[in-house]
Structure 1
Amino acid sequence: MPKYYCDYCDTFLTHDSPSVRKTHNGGRKHKEKVRIFYQKWMEEQAQKLVDATAKAYLQQKARIEATRALQKGMPGSNAEAMMTSVETQMMPTLMRFPRPSFGAVSPWGTTMPSTFRRAPAPQNIH
């Protein structure tokens, strides 16, 4: 009969029976080792996320600095004016365009409402 191996505890149990496994899995040492295992795993995942975020930030920063260096080297260029266009590319699309005023014509040819009405508050009826 094969023995049961616990990956968390790195040990073989005396024999493979449901009662022995249940007793082992309910034990204090096993639970502590499981907690430590997943705590380390979560720390590794968090570190990977931090590293990926830092790498993406540094790549974006390098692109901006390279663009500035190229713009400074161009004769007759206005580096500061061109830099604002690079910075606006980093902004979300909705932040770049102004919202239409109320009553304006939508792209579909209909007018947008001039006011939005709030639904009346519900009445407490007893």
Structure 2
Amino acid sequence: MNEEKLINNSELRPFLPAFAEIKHRLCGIEVECEPLGLSFEKDVQTEEDMLLTLISQKAFAFDVTNEYGAVWDVRLEPFSKFKARSTKITFPFTGYNPDKRQQISNWEGDVFTSITRH
């Protein structure tokens, strides 16, 4: 997804902060596991498409785990911070857990709350 498209689409413009934050939080994960970086597989046109695309990132279908058994939570910290305190990271596939999707869509860090109230 091109940020220019977000800026030019008035319906998607409110998602710019969420897009930027998720992009920041996922940054670096593609180095460890290439297909898990931020990706948009279809052309996003509506608010519903955008929200579904953001909460359906491939990285969220995995429990990114370190050698201590800690599981990375995108809502709490960027991947790079989790990686910095880990020496070994594994990517067990868990699938798109509905509870996990709900938690991400209800993210308290002003990522989604400000855009879902308009």
Normalising by structure 1, we get a TM-score of 0.24
Higher relative contact order (CA 8 A, sep 6+): 2
Larger Rg: 1
Normalising by structure 2, we get a TM-score of 0.25
